Structure formats: C-alpha cells, structure tokens
Amino acid sequence: MAPGSAQALVTIMQGCNNFCSFCVVPYVGGREYSRPPAEIVAEVQEFLAAGGQEVTLLGQNVNSYGRGSQSLSPCPGCSADSPTCRG
C-alpha cells in the first residue's frame, strides 16, 4: 500500500498447486499459502483507518484461499456444515 493512497492491493495468498505445463509459478512461487484472516483484516483496517477507500484482494488463485489449511475457514463466519459452503 502506498502511503496516502485511496486504493490498496492486499495479497491474501501466494503460490499455486496446479502445475500447468507451461507455467513456472509453482516452481518459483511454491505451493499455495493463505495468509491468516486476522492478519489480512488487520492490514485492511489499518488502511481504512488511514483514509483508504478501496481494497482489492490479490492472489495467484484467490478461489483457493484457505484450502489445504486446517486452521483457516475460506469464508470467515461460515459454518463448515453449511450446505452451500464449497470451501
């Protein structure tokens, strides 16, 4: 985040597990890793408190956020028993 900026780009996960034949990301970026939700929320809150207005969440595969982690729910507040949860 640039100081004084109204827009922030916040990385929520990195890496990739897909190993597409033409791509180096899994080799150079490693396997998927999701940042802890509390860490992301704290970063966004700090940005908003400083006057920020727009946040874009980034990741190599944002749809994979929280997968492969025992400690993360892909959607905070969601019950794992929810019939609509695809996490």
* Rounded CA separation 66/60 (Å): 13
Of positions 18, 45, 79, 82, contacts ligand SF4 by CB under 6 A: 18
Q: How far is the CB of 15 from ligand SF4 (least distance, A)?
A: 9
| Cβ contact 47:56 at 8 Å | no
Of positions 6, 9, 23, 42, contacts ligand SF4 by CB under 6 A: 23
Report phi then psi at 56, rounded to 5: -115, 125
Binding site for ligand SF4 (CB under 6 A): 16, 18-20, 23, 25-26, 60
